[in-house]
Amino acid sequence: MTRPRILVTGGTGFLGRQVVPLLRQSCDVDVLSRSGSSEIKGDLTQWNAGIDAVGSLKGRYQAFLHLAGLYDLRASQTECYLHNVVATNQALRLCQRLEIPVFLNTSSVAAAINVDAEKVNPFQVNLNAAFPDAYSESKAIAEKLIQTWEGGPRLKINLRPGVLVGDESRGEIERIDGPYYAPIAVGKLKKVLESIPGPLILPGDEARRLPLVPVDACARAIVKIIQASLVSEKSGYQSYHLVPEEGLAIRDFYASVLRHLLIHHRGIKLVHQVPHLLMKKVSKWALGFPEAQLTYLLAFPRYETSMNHEILGADWCPEFSSYERTFWSGYEKFVSNR
Amino acid sequence: MKNSFRIAEISFGRSVSDGAFEFDFEGSHFEVQRFGTNYNADNVQALIRQFRNDVDAFALSSLPPVIRMKNQSYVHRNYLDILGTPSPVPLCDGSGLKEISNLNSLIRLVESGAIKPQDGVFFPMALHSIELEEYIRKSSGGKVFFGDAYAMFGLEQLVRPFPGLMTMSQVAMNIAGIKDLSELTKAGESRLLQMGESELGSKTDQFQYVFGDLPALLLLRSSPQFLRGKDLVIWSHHDLYEQILRKAEPRSIVNLMPEEYKKISPRMNYSILDAVLRLKHKKTAPLSMEEWESMFALRSDVLPVVRRYASTSRPSTQAQLTHGVRKVTRFLKKENPPDFAFIIHALSHRDFEQIPGVKQAMRFLPQNMNDGFDRLISKAPPIVYGHVNHVISESTGREVNGILYGLFATPKVLRETPPEVTYAKIEKICYDAASRGAKIIGLGAYTKIIGDSGVTINRNSPIPVTTGNSLSASATLWGLYEAIAKMGLLKKDPGTGRFDGMAMVVGATGSIGSVSAKLLSLAFKKICLVAPRMNRLEELAQEIRRMSPDCEVILTTEANHFAEIADALVTATSALDQKIIDVMKLKPGCVVCDCSRPLDFTAEDAKKRPDVLIIESGEVVLPGPYEMDCDLGLPGKTVYACLAETALLSLEGRHEAFTIGRDIDWIKVKEIYKLALKHGVRLSSIEGHMGTIKDREIDLIRELALSKR
């Protein structure tokens, strides 16, 4: 039996570098890149992705995995629009021209950050409410674009990974992002925190959970979903949250940070009644904690994951406690090397 | 002939139902891809910049229209920003076309009784189709209701026309012009979505017809009372959307878009149609009302009605103010910082007449004081003479802007002034240009001849300096070659590929002259070199004989000796007062390329010899929809080739002293020619003393020449 062939964009990114080798174990993979150093030269910022003649490529692929995108919480609305919305439009057009039956897009849980629901389902986006930043808005718009794209692939699958952290075995990261800002911010106040006689008062909500996902676990999940899509005869639009079942309680996360920094404390008290704007300004001013990152820490809703079980099983994503040690060793390695 | 076109449809609406489709129309193939921009004018502009070198036209849909009221037009500032985005391909928003086509269809439908306006017509947003509303109200005696007050301000009133409504609408337009379009459109959209819950929802029995374009009517889906049992009048075509509308069980859906255009694709709107028709008719500028009228072959009795409701004679105060504010804002924001700079100067005493007031003053000046005046005015400091904005490469899409500095000095004054004085002035300009952001500066006309031809200036300048002579030389030969080909009097030797004739270069030891001589020696069997010093001519001849051993080289210090056997003549001198060559001695049918400044041949000379084709040095046209806010003394958008070299180096990102000193490296001449082709610099039309020389004039010159030979 011939191996299926997959076309991948964003194959050189943080997630792409994990997905592509794993995918190559069961499929032939062509990576599309601007430089032409990979199998296919193309550019999603150009008309027809810079590929004018598709003759020999038509009908060659069984799936298109769109990993490329701009992840920058401080980027402008237009930058995010061009890299996350227009590039997705171009990717869909390429998929249509190459007659690829399955299109898989990697979005983010940030796309639903403004959805007001006890548990967000993976199809939900709210384009009428304000977004905390241009990035999350562009991801939500891109999802809507894929849902309503006219013509093109038979099956469109949207994947919403949680907050990607270092892999389970080594915890290696390539930049400080998301939860990794916390030890830097807290570390600055070590002496002050240790001198507080009562419990530490920190921003957060007991009910909220951080959807941390080790990058290798996310890559394994994506490959499994691709494999399932290749044998699926379904059509239309599907969407999956790639997040842990439980997620990490904010309190547990703070405890882990304090433990790692060897800060003695007399318990943690979370406060969320304080206006978020004030909390964000104070955190930024006193601790250098980026406002956009704190927004997510305070606002992550719970995510519906039951739809994944059929393909991934219930326990595909490890909880933080199982890789806490490698999480911190990866962080330390990055901090000491930079 | 191009038969396949790409259109990027950029919708101001959401990125919903984006997609791509292809269709054939009148023997041409069209590929359209839609991009929603989520009500963000910056996104629209960014997309135009991203795709302007890849597509043949942009179809801008769902933009707020130019609104016509009381014979005046109202326009939003974001609309002007979008339509003002520099693009080498047309930006088509369907305005003009939409109004004429819709009115034409509506008049016929009302006349045939298919639409009965007296049964009541509701416009959710009448301002977007005010010509239809005005026609129904004034000409067909229909009952009209508006939803604008609700959509714009949330006033839950089903408005009927009343005295003063127009004035109120004008005030509303002025307010709307201040707010950002993104906020306005989002607010309007969410109100339309909830229209059924408002007071308006309980009054839908007062009208039978609902007029609105498909995207607007789709918003009314959540208010079925506006759609069920009603006659919906729309003016775009979208199979899927129409199916969705039908689910709301309207009595009928009437489309004002003519059937012959509607059927060409499953999706069609006036913006796409505008692009399709402009591409088919090879029109880049928006078509005028008259052109649309003739395209639709309007009936003579329909014509005045259409004109009455669809045309305006003047912009409103709001539109004028918006234009003005935009201009000032652009100036204050210092938009378009320069990437390159260029220096020019007055080419003659008459150029000073362009200075306001000077022309009148010069009338009282005796002619013998002209020189004194020129010397006096040359003491004035240099000025920023103008700008060349939005030069866009055809191959890379990179955009550059230029700033032009002017020196108040004629060639004669420059020649008399010690070079150090002029160097100091130019160096100041270089520092000023660098402080404004320019990364390279070009020397125009006589400023590149002074002293050591730019070497000292380049040494002291903070940014690289180029004389632009490489492209000047290249363009000259380029122009000469085209003119010779059009004259068709010279035959090519099939064996060597050379013209069977003699080319003469006057001023051959100069920088442009020597390169011209080298390049012409590759194209002609015989070449005659003319210059005042024989020893320098000998040096050049040796070099040419090494390069082109098959070319016979003749040397002379007197041009008139061989003028009567020259088939092509290039003059590249800088003589101010003396005639180098007598026009009466030229061979009939000779093609003369005069790249001397000031010109060697005057208009009088050209009149004396109607059997000789005299062209000026090859000037060029830059790529892209560039704008110049100053007069270079050249027709249309033509620029000096040396300016184009500076722009080209900037487009290529090669900020280096490309051409400097007296000698021109002919390898660089070839290199810059390749860059010109790569980025889309074109030779402008063949220019003579009296402007563009048309093919018919060349035919006449050839006939006269043949009769004299």
Distance (Å, rounded) from C-alpha A211 to C-alpha A311?
19
Identity of the highest mean pLDDT range in A317-331, B174-188, B347-361, B660-674: A317-331
B22 to chain A, any CB pair closer than 8 A? The answer is no
Chain A contact for B183, CB < 8 A? no
Q: pLDDT value at position B240?
A: 87
Tally of helices (H runs) and strands (E runs) in chain A:
12, 15
Range B351-360 contact pairs with CB under 8 angstroms and sequence separation of 24 or more: B351/B410, B351/B633, B352/B377, B352/B408, B354/B631
Q: In this structure, is residue A328 part of a structural domain?
A: no
Judged by CB atoms closer than 8 Å, whether chains meet at A86 and B8 is answered as no
Shared-domain flag, residues A128 and A255: no
Closest CA to A15 of A74, A67, A78, A89: A67
Q: Which chain A residues are closer than 8 Å to B21 by Cβ?
A: 150-151
What does the pLDDT read at residue B320? 79
Q: pLDDT band at residue B576, thresholds of 50, 70 and 90?
A: low
Q: Which positions ≥6 away from B197 have C-beta within 8 Å?
A: B223
Task: Look at residue A171 and tell me if it is in a domain.
Answer: no
Residue A66: closest CA among A42, A40, A95: A95
Residue B178: other Cβ atoms inside 10 A: 12
Residue B386 has what pLDDT?
A: 86
- Give the global pTM: 0.81
Residues of B in contact with A44 (CB under 8 A): none
> Do B50 and A82 count as a contact with CB atoms less than 8 A apart?
yes
Question: Of A96, A141, A152, which has the smallest distance from its Cβ to B15's Cβ?
Answer: A141
Note whether residue A327 is domain-resident.
no
Q: Measuring CA to CA, how many Å separate B156 from each of B146, B220, B365? A: 11, 15, 73
Residue B597 has pLDDT above 70, yes or no: no
Inter-chain contact A150–B50, Cβ cutoff 8 Å? Answer: no
User: With an 8 Å Cβ cutoff, are A89 and B15 in contact?
Assistant: yes
Q: Which residue from B20, B43, B54 is facing A81, i.e. has the nearest CB?
A: B43
Among B33, B38, B55, beta carbon nearest to A93: B33
Residues A221 and A295 in one domain: no
Q: Which tokens hold the place of A85?
A: 């919305």
pLDDT of residue A336: 87
Does residue A296 sit within a domain? yes
Q: Chain B closest CA to A108's CA: distance in Å?
A: 18
- Please, which pLDDT band fits residue B312 given cuts at 50, 70 and 90? low
User: Which CATH number does the domain housing residue A161 bear?
Assistant: 3.40.50.720
Under an 8 A CB cutoff, do A144 and B16 touch? yes
Pick from A83-87, B308-312, B517-521, B587-591: least confident: B308-312
User: What parts of chain A have a pLDDT lower than 50?
Assistant: none
Relative orientation angle of helices A16-24 and A215-231, to the nearest 10 degrees: 50
- What string of H, E and C letters represents the secondary structure of B457-485? HHHHCCCCEECCHHHHHHHHHHHHHHHHH
Query: What size, in residues, is chain B?
Result: 709
Instruction: Say if residue B58's pLDDT is above 90.
Output: yes
**A144 and B47: CB-CB below 8 Å?**
no
Task: Give start and end residues of each alpha helix (H) in B52-160.
Answer: 77-83, 97-112, 130-138, 148-153
Same domain? For A297 and A310 the reply is: no
Residue of chain A minimizing CA distance to B397: A46
Contacts of A25 (CB under 8 A, 6+ apart): none
Nearest to B54 among A46, A92, A141 (CB): A46
**Is B47 part of the contact surface with chain A (CB cutoff 8 Å)?**
yes
d(C-alpha B570, C-alpha B592), whole Å? 6
pLDDT at residue B675 is higher than 80? yes
Residue A190 and residue A288 share a domain: yes
Cβ separation A141–B21 shorter than 8 A? no
Q: Where are the alpha helices (DSSP H) in B395-510?
A: 411-416, 419-436, 455-460, 469-487
Q: Which of A47, A78, A144 sits opposite B54 (nearest CB)?
A: A47
Interface check for B396 against chain A (CB to CB < 8 A): the answer is no
Query: Who among B35, B42, B240 is closest to A86 (CB)?
Result: B35
Statement to judge: residues A83 and A195 lie in one domain: no
| Least confident window among B104-118, B366-380, B524-538, B577-591 | B366-380
A279 φ/ψ sector (left φ>0, alpha ψ -120 to 50, else beta):
alpha
φ, ψ dihedrals at B405, nearest 5°: -105, 145
Please report, rounded to a whole number, the percentage of residues in chain B having pLDDT higher than 90: 33
Q: Check A82 against B240: CB less than 8 A apart.
A: no
Q: What is the DSSP letter of B155?
A: -
Q: What share of chain A is helix, strand, coil (3-state, %, to 5)?
A: 45, 15, 40
According to the model, what pLDDT value does residue B174 have?
75
In Å, what is the CA distance from B458 to each residue of B401, B441, B443?
A: 21, 9, 10
> Nearest CA of chain B to the CA of A72: how many Å?
18
Does B507 score more than 80 pLDDT?
A: yes
- Of B142, B291, B271, the closest CA to residue B213 belongs to B271
Domain covering B472-621+687-708 assigned CATH 3.40.50.720 in the classification: yes
In whole angstroms, give the CA distance from residue B87 to residue B318: 26
* Domain match, A46 and A73 both: yes
For B190, which of A48, A128, A152 is closest by C-beta distance? A128
Q: Please give the interface size between A and B, counted as residue pairs whose CB atoms are below 8 Å apart.
A: 67
Put simply, the answer to whether A78 touches B20 (Cβ < 8 Å) is no
- Reduced to 3 states, what is the DSSP secondary structure of residue B311? coil
Contact criterion met (CB < 8 Å) for B20 and A93: yes
CA-CA-CA-CA torsion sign (B532, B534, B537, B539): negative
pLDDT > 80? residue B313:
no
Model ipTM value? 0.91
Query: Which range, of A237-251, B5-19, B324-338, B490-504, averages the lowest pLDDT?
Result: B324-338
What residue in A sits closest to B239 (Cα-Cα)?
Answer: A150
Domain segments of chain B as ranges: 97-263, 340-468+643-659, 472-621+687-708
The shortest C-alpha distance from B385 to chain A (Å) reads 34
Structure confidence by residue, pLDDT tens digits, B278-295: 998 888 888 887 888 887
CB < 8 Å to A96, chain B: 20
Minimum-distance CB partner of B18 among A46, A77, A149: A149
CA angle, B591 as apex, B589 and B595 as ends, to 5°? 155
Tell me how far CA of residue B241 lies from CA of B41, B164, B169, B189, B463, in angstroms. 25, 37, 31, 17, 58
- What is the tens place of the pLDDT at every residue in B149-189? 888 888 887 788 777 777 777 777 777 777 777 777 777 88
Residues A98 and A183 both lie in one domain: no
Instruction: Write the pLDDT tens digit of every residue in B607-631.
Output: 889 999 998 767 888 998 888 888 8
Number of Cβ within a 10 Å radius of residue B368: 7
Q: What is the pLDDT of residue A136?
A: 95
CB contact under 8 Å between B15 and A144, yes or no, is yes
- Confidence at residue B359, expressed as pLDDT on a 0 to 100 scale: 67
Residue among B1, B584, B8, B643 at smallest CA distance from B275: B8
**Which residue of A47, A77, A125 to mutate against B (max B Cβ within 10 Å)?**
A47
Range of the domain at A90: 5-165+211-245+303-318
Cβ–Cβ gap B46/A152 under 8 Å: no
Q: Point out the least confidently predicted range of B233-237, B598-602, B673-677.
A: B598-602
Cβ atoms < 10 Å from Cβ of A126: 16
How far is Cα of residue B307 from the mean position of the Cα atoms in its chain?
Answer: 29
Q: Please answer yes or no on whether B54 and A78 come within 8 Å at the CB atom.
A: no
Asked whether residue A265 is domain-assigned, the answer is yes
Of A303-312, A324-333, B93-102, B682-691, the least confident: B682-691
Instruction: For residue B14, give how far its alpha carbon lies from the nearest alpha carbon of chain A (Å).
Output: 8
C-alpha closest to that of B63 among B85, B47, B44: B44
Q: Do B16 and A145 touch (CB under 8 A)?
A: yes
Same domain? A201 vs A61: no
Instruction: Tell me which of B10, B14, B17, B18 to substitute to probe the interface with A (most A C-beta atoms closer than 10 Å).
Output: B18
| Same domain, residue pair A217 and A109 | yes
Find chain A residues with C-beta within 8 A of B20's C-beta.
93, 96, 151
Query: What is the pLDDT at residue B449?
Result: 77
Is the CB of B15 less than 8 angstroms away from the CB of A151? no
Number of domains in chain A: 2
For residue B367 the two structure tokens come to 């002619």
Q: Which residue of A has its CA nearest to B190?
A: A128
What sign results for the dihedral spanned by CA atoms B531, B536, B539, B543?
Answer: negative
Write out the residues of chain A at the interface with chain B, using a CB-CB cutoff of 8 A. Answer: 45-48, 77-78, 81-82, 85-86, 89, 92-93, 96, 127-128, 141-142, 144-145, 148-152
- Measured between beta carbons, the chain A residues lying within 8 angstroms of B50 are 45, 82, 86
Question: Do B18 and A150 count as a contact with CB atoms less than 8 A apart?
Answer: yes
More confident residue, B357 or A97: A97
In a domain, A312, yes or no: yes
**Shared-domain flag, residues A200 and A117:** no
Does the CB of B54 have a partner CB in chain A at under 8 Å? yes
Task: Name every chain A residue with its beta carbon within 8 A of the beta carbon of B240.
Answer: 150
B14 touches chain A (CB under 8 A): yes
What value does the CA radius of gyration of chain A take, rounded to a whole number of Å?
Answer: 21
Query: Using the beta-carbon criterion (under 8 Å), do B50 and A86 form an inter-chain contact?
Result: yes
Q: What pLDDT does residue B357 have?
A: 67
Do A226 and A106 have their domain in common? yes
In the prediction, which pLDDT does B326 show? 77
